[in-house]
Amino acid sequence: MASGSHEKDSNDGVAILRKDGCICANGDHADVWLIDEAKSEYEKLLARTDANSRRAAAQLPRYFLRYSQGLRLSDEQFKPQGQKSSGKHTLQIWEFKGYQYRIYGVVVEVGKKRTFIGTAADPSKKNNKANPSIVQKALDNYVRIFK
């Protein structure tokens, strides 16, 4: 999988994640962090009690764990959404997919470890096609926070 790198010292990225982020999985292969909108929307998802939310809330942690362990994920669980640009930064956007729920972010190296950083969410996904404005927002949020 493609990954980017921080232009700032990677310790800056670690500090930002520890201060404002939520680690969802920590494995030998990779980490999964949620920050900004992705973190707040995920916390709301975990608190909801409707059937669709419970289903997504059960699926996503399993997918995060599989990713952190380097296990295969299908396109129905984790998939690329294409290269996006924000200013001078161009990165691949990735999507974790729970039932009618999406978390978008980037894969970068943080502290010499491959890390998915989720920065945006679509909490009520009704079809299989990603919302282009939310995909772009994932990169814009990442650039605003880390670059």
Residue 60: per-residue pLDDT: 97
The confidence band for 87, taking pLDDT boundaries of 50, 70 and 90, is confident
- Alpha-carbon span 114 to 32, nearest angstrom: 9
Numbers of helices and strands, H then E, in the chain: 4, 7
pLDDT per residue as tens digits for the range 4-48: 444 444 456 667 677 778 888 999 999 999 999 999 999 999 999
Residue 21 CA to residue 103 CA, distance in Å, equals 14
52 Cβ partners below 8 Å, 6+ apart? 99, 100, 101
Q: Contact, 115 vs 105, CB < 8 A? A: no
Q: Look up the pTM and report it.
A: 0.87
